[in-house]
Amino acid sequence: MVIVELSEVGKTYHPRDGAPVVAVQDVNLTVQEGEFVSLVGPSGCGKTTVLNMIIGLLAPTTGTLELRLGEESRQRPGVVFQRPVLLPWRSALENVLLPSEVGGLRARRSTPDDGGEGGSRRAAMEQRARSLLDMVGLQGFESKLPTELSGGMQQRVAIARALLLRNQLLCMDEPFSALDEFTREQMNEQLLSIWHSQSLTCVFVTHNLFEATFLSDRIIVMATNPGRVITELEVPLPRPRTRDMMTAPGCVATVARIRQLLGLSTSSQEREPAGGGA
């Protein structure tokens, strides 16, 4: 079942001073339920713009965008940004609980898993928040303030927060780019196991091609000037993925193919000795 569908979607900004800027144009993209899809491309290719339109932070200027997230039409995608964006006055647990406290009264009354009225809903939410923190490996850190947690731990809190309301769709915008290489690999593995165990659908933005390949079923390759999708690739790696696959021929070949598509490969460098880097 298709749960995200973009057809001919474009976004143009109209700055007060100057000509309109086309951030992205003619994007056709579908995401199947349970799929892991990554958007890759150089800065300025509009990958974050596309993600922000899916999240609902931006409205497309042209084309149509549709989300089909279960019966509760009010359900939103869970979101993880590049930075954890935790509220520093709230403990880890309270940060995870934030989504259950907002969205207006109507939304709060009709949560999928509420056992009853008032206090018991809060209790159920708290229980879920605790189990999510366990799942991301933060048991025992529930009452810590964000400043007492490392960058990787903060981002794990952000992931738990994104999943509190049993969100089916998880949208992530370069969530691990601020982490060191080792932590990032660990987080990649953990994310895959969460994706699998929670039957999530993921849309993942990154500029790290190995990360995209390791995580994804499908990679959407984007380019600049104007921002657009140039192609889609299926990743020829079996599931479940293991860390060894980072160096498997299928992985390396996929990365090489994307580099070529983006004009980063050796063949294009030979033609332009000055370097074809984007």
Partner 1 sequence: MAESLITEGDPQQLAPKEPGSRKPVRKRREQGWLVIALSRIAVFAAVVAFWQYAVVSGLVSGLVVPTATEVVSRFWRDLVSVLTGGAMREHFLVTAGEIYAAFLIVLVGGTLAGVVIHEVRFVNRVIYPYIVAFAAMPRVAFAPLVLIWFGFDMASKIVIGIMIALFPTLVATLAGLAATDDEKLQLMRALGATQLETFLKVRFWEALPYIFAGLQTSVVTATIGVVVGEFAGGRRGLGVLVTVYQDSLDIAGSFSAIFLLSLVGLFNYYVMQYARKRIVYWVGERVPA
87 sits near partner 1 (criterion: CB under 8 A): yes
With binding defined as CB under 8 A, does residue 89 bind partner 1?
Answer: yes
Asked whether position 277 contacts partner 1 by CB under 8 A, the answer is: no
Those residues with Cβ within 8 angstroms of residue 238's Cβ, 6 or more apart along the chain or in another chain: none
Q: Which residues are within 8 A (CB) of 270 and not within 5 positions of it... i.e. 6 or more apart?
A: none
Which of 18, 104, 119, 273 is close enough to bind partner 1 by CB under 8 A? 104
Please tell me whether residue 124 binds partner 1 under the rule CB under 8 A: no
Binding flag, residue 103, partner 1 (CB under 8 A): yes
Of residues 3, 31, 37, 76, which one binds partner 1 by CB under 8 A? 76
Joined tokens for residue 8 = 């001919």
User: Is position 166 an interface residue for partner 1 (rule: CB under 8 A)?
Assistant: no
Stretch near partner 1 under the rule CB under 8 A, chosen from 101-109, 197-205, 224-232, 235-243: 101-109
Cβ atoms of 195 and 175 within 8 Å: the answer is no
- CB count in 10 Å sphere of residue 246: 17
By CB under 8 A, residue 147 contacts partner 1: yes
Contact 222, 47 (CB under 8 A): yes
Interface with partner 1, residue 46, by CB under 8 A: no
Q: Interface with partner 1 includes 56 (CB under 8 A)? A: yes
How far apart are alpha carbons 87 and 95 in whole angstroms?
7
Residue selected from 8, 66, 101, 272 as contacting partner 1 according to rule CB under 8 A: 101
Task: Please identify, among the stretches 72-80, 117-125, 133-141, 263-271, the one whose residues bind partner 1 according to the rule CB under 8 A.
Answer: 72-80
98 touches partner 1 (CB under 8 A): yes
179 part of the interface to partner 1, by CB under 8 A: no
Binding residue (CB under 8 A) for partner 1 from 10, 46, 60, 99: 99
Closest by alpha carbon to 211, among 239, 192, 228? Answer: 192
Residue 71 has what DSSP assignment?
Answer: S
How distant, in Å, are the alpha carbons of 98, 160, 233 from that of 122? 11, 16, 43
Taking the CA atoms of 195, 40, 151 and 184 in sequence, report the sign of the dihedral they define: positive
The DSSP secondary-structure symbol of 180 reads -
Judged by the rule CB under 8 A, the positions of this chain that interact with partner 1 are 55-57, 74, 76-77, 79, 81, 83, 85, 87-89, 98-99, 101-104, 107, 145, 147
